[in-house]
Homo-oligomer: A and B are copies of this chain.
Amino acid sequence: MYSIGIDIGGSKIAAGVIGEDLNLIRKKSLPFPHTGNPLDSIETIRTLIRGLISECNLKEEDAACIGLAVPGSIDYDRGVVINAYNLDYHDFPLCQYIGESFPGIKVYVENDANAAALAEYYCGAFRGCSSGLLITIGTGIGGGLMLDGKLFVGGKKNGFEFGHAVLLFGGEPCTCGQRGCIESYCSAAALVREGRKAASEHHESAMYVNAQGDLTKINAKLVMDSAREGDQVASEVYQRFTDYLGATACTAIALFDPEIIAFGGGVSNDGEFLLAPIREYARKYAFFKNHAKIVTAEMKNDAGIVGAAMLYLQR
């Protein structure tokens, strides 16, 4: 038995075969075809699946599922992508389209942040736990929550939008239309915004100097590198950023009380430089003293593929 996971992103479509022992046997990817016709991406996905099946000498009847992860909202009952803006999928019957080409295989679709949490649960940081929260720090904030061994997708099955809980009422505008969402303070984009703002007011900052005065050159890595090297302005920005993340962890502890909270995304690659201040914040302020362990995510770039391939274990 094997299963196939497909991670459909705005830049590329990544596909992989996962074996019975949950290891990634083979993967391949193709660019997402931004042709204006989303059906072209269906052809790309089919090509990837056929390629993997053929290259690994697999039989269709041995497949446990084809799982699809998309950056968007899902109608679980119908297997339809309601909206995935980066892919131009709107009310898009993704499962049906893929199922038509592989009639003997079950096809499931899931939000990519949820799929990543599933990957941590079966193969990564959540192993041995029945509850865990994955917070992925990217341009936005992705959240995936396991409760009692099950992916939580909301009481009404609308989804789990961790990044759009309010963290600072009345604060920075968020892409969702509200103000002060977790996403508008804890995302890499928020760190960059605050870094640029501070640099524009402090030309002596290493951020400003290293960017040669071009604020658009200041990215998350430059803010973090400058903070790590002791630049005071960058350090203050970074301290505030980790405080926001610490308060976010405290909110998660009060509401979900998970066994583990894992941080993913590029910003987390540095491990302790991110985790230590979040842990310190939680040690001081978390409502429960015996609260969740706070760790980095383990699955990195393959999280979407692996989590999607695991969907048959949840449905």
- Taking beta carbons and an 8 Å cutoff, which residues of A are in contact with B? 129-132, 147-148, 152-162, 164-171, 176-178, 180, 185, 243-244, 247-248, 250-251, 254-259, 284-285, 287-288, 290-292
For A161, the chain B residues whose CB sits under 8 A away are 254-255, 287-288
CB of A155 within 8 A of CB of B257, answer yes
Nearest CB on B from A260, distance (A) = 9
Cα distance A258–B159 in the bound complex, in angstroms: 11
A-B pairs, top 10 by smallest CB distance, nearest first, are: A131-B155, A154-B257, A161-B254, A155-B258, A164-B254, A158-B288, A165-B251, A168-B169, A178-B285, A158-B257
CB of B168 within 8 A of CB of A254, answer no
Nearest CB on B from A160, distance (A) = 7
Cα distance A258–B292 in the bound complex, in angstroms: 24
For A147, the chain B residues whose CB sits under 8 A away are 147, 152, 155
CB of B160 within 8 A of CB of A131, answer no
Known: A155-B147, A159-B288. A166 touches B251 (CB 8 A): yes
| Identical copies in the complex | 2
Interface of A, helix, strand, loop or mixed by DSSP: loop
> CB within 8 A of A166: which of B156, B250, B259?
B250
Nearest CB on B from A205, distance (A) = 23
CB of B165 within 8 A of CB of A168, answer no
Nearest CB on B from A186, distance (A) = 10
Cα distance A285–B174 in the bound complex, in angstroms: 11
Cα distance A171–B169 in the bound complex, in angstroms: 9
